[in-house]
Amino acid sequence: MQVRQAPRDRIVSTACELFRQHGIRGIGVDAIAEAAETNKMTLYRHFGSKDDLICEALRFTSEKAAAFWDQLEASHPNDPMAQLHSWVEARAQCLADNQYGCDLANAAVELKEQGHPAHAVIENFKITQQRRLEKLCRDAGVSEPELLSDTLSMLMEGAQVSKLATGSEGPSMRFLRACEAAIASFRQPVKSTAETVGA
């Protein structure tokens, strides 16, 4: 007999799910509470407002992403280039599995009101991801780590919204190949003749 999660946890994970499916503005607190098998009053006892809940849900999602990075590093210890390829594959898999894109990025698109507390959560999450990716590129010894990591970041974000806009037959179909081509074009000559190629 499994112990039921606490109401607060049920609310957060349910909110994540419903925000993803319907958009943040597309679902009401009442529906979230009901889907979490609780009620609006309990929801408001744990979260002062819907905006609070939004932030908490985004934080919850971003924590799951942090775990993914630890797992990535553990899978190929001391081999950053292998980790980089593994990152690309994982993102491609995530792209294939998930039809809603990145919750954090979607929230950034949806919440236009500047000063919204969620923006800090989103920015913090995205910057963390970018920094870890850049470190990976740097450790992998590619020629222009910042440029490659930004390229991969943009390809990833672009693949997600592209899939939303034009479906899985659009540009996102070639996400993996595009990433691999980008990595290849920045790869340093391995160990022979340590001459750098200009232009």
Partner DNA sequence: TCGAATAGTTACCGACCGGTCACACCTATG
Partner DNA sequence: CATAGGTGTGACCGGTCGGTAACTATTCGA
Binding site for a copy of itself (CB under 8 A): 21-23, 25-26, 100-101, 104-106, 108-113, 122-123, 126-127, 130, 146-147, 149-151, 153-162, 164-167, 170-175, 177-178, 181-182, 184-186
* Tokens standing for residue 191: 């160990």
Lookup result for tokens 């989103």: 122
Q: What angle do CA 115, 120, 122 make, to 5 degrees?
A: 120
Q: Which entry of DNA, a copy of itself, none binds 21, CB below 5 to 8 A by partner kind? A: a copy of itself
- Output 60 or 186, the one with its CB closest to a copy of itself: 186
Is residue 59 at the binding interface for DNA, with CB under 7 A as the rule? no
Look at the block and give the residue holding tokens 């999660």.
Answer: 5
Kindly give, in sequence order, each residue whose CB lies less than 8 Å from that of residue 187, ignoring residues fewer than 6 positions away.
142, 143
SS3 state at 93: helix
Integer Cα distance of 11 and 29 in angstroms: 10
Q: Which is nearer to a copy of itself, 31 or 161 (CB)?
A: 161
38 binding DNA? (CB under 7 A): yes
40 binds, among DNA, a copy of itself, none (CB under 5 to 8 A by kind): DNA
User: How many CB atoms are closer than 10 A to CB 46?
Assistant: 16
Nearer to a copy of itself, 96 or 105 (CB): 105
Footprint of DNA (CB under 7 A): 6-8, 27-31, 37-42, 44-46, 48-51
